[in-house]
């Protein structure tokens, strides 16, 4: 799961050094009248020294903050149905099952709902809708992967997986096809994080209908994958 390192290039521009040639004339030698004057010796210019650039500070990774909570356990999760209205390019009603007790927040953009487990180490699932169905999961996931790679820096020590395709049948009998993208990185405030991003389409329309993601710590991976799969099997969208 996109790491991207930003390399800063420093260019030192050196100006060409120039000089003015002085013309020296010798005093007349009266004892050798008529003799051709001797040519003056050439003047060698003193080169202008090129300034030495100041050394740049070495870049370091963010330190890994120790987690404050134990790993997320699937046996401790009970799923409940939730419904949210998401508004972006258009208004969508989305229903799905998420872990009980995970608090709901509608993000500022209006087209994303996030359900977060309480505690100092945030684990969450988020769902996005409210957009037109015009882009396939592969196309949209490829673009999202590129944007994530561009957004993380050397300090985050990011690691990116390739896109993975899959499908499953929902509880309503409708097949869902999807593209997954996993990545990990070091958050400056929260330590090592794992994210699984999923773009899915419903049978009958090849374009992306819902985007979902789960996030937590790498040791939560098994439980987070189960949360994402449960949401995938139960999600439904109506405009």
Query: What residues does each domain of the chain span?
Result: 1-239
The whole-number mean pLDDT for each consecutive block of 10 residues of the chain, a chain of 239 residues, reads 33 31 32 47 55 67 88 94 96 97 93 94 95 97 96 96 97 97 94 96 97 96 97 96
CA dist list (Å): 93 to 85, 117, 149, 205, 238: 5, 23, 31, 18, 5
pLDDT of residue 46: 56
List all residues 6 or more positions away from 24 whose beta carbon is below 8 Å from its beta carbon. Answer: 40
What is the structure's pLDDT at 50? 55
pLDDT in the model for residue 45: 57
Alpha-carbon distance 174 to 203, whole Å?
Answer: 6
The pLDDT assigned to 41 comes to 53
pLDDT at 3: 38
Q: What is the CATH number of domain 1-239?
A: 3.40.1000.10
């Amino acid at each position: 799961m996109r790491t991207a390192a930003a390399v800063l290039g420093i260019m030192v521009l050196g100006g060409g050094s120039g000089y003015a040639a002085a013309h020296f004339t010798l005093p007349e030698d009266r004892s050798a009248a008529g003799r051709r004057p001797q040519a003056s010796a050439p003047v060698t210019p003193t080169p202008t020294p090129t300034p030495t650039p100041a050394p740049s500070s070495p870049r370091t990774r963010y330190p890994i903050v120790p987690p404050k909570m134990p790993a997320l356990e699937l046996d401790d999760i009970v799923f409940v149905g939730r419904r949210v209205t998401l508004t972006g390019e258009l208004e969508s009603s989305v229903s799905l099952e998420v872990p009980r007790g995970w608090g709901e927040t509608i993000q500022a953009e209006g087209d994303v709902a996030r359900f977060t487990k309480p505690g100092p180490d945030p684990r969450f699932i988020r769902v996005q809708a409210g957009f037109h169905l015009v882009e396939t999961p592969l196309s949209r996931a490829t673009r999202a992967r590129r944007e994530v790679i561009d957004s993380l820096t050397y300090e985050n020590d990011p690691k990116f997986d390739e896109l993975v395709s899959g499908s499953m049948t929902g509880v309503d009998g409708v097949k869902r096809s999807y593209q997954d993208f996993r990545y990990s990185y070091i958050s400056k405030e929260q330590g090592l994080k794992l994210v699984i991003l999923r773009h899915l389409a419903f049978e009958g329309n090849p374009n992306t209908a819902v985007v979902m993601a789960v996030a937590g710590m790498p040791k939560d991976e098994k439980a987070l994958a189960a949360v994402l799969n449960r949401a995938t099997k139960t999600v439904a969208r109506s405009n």
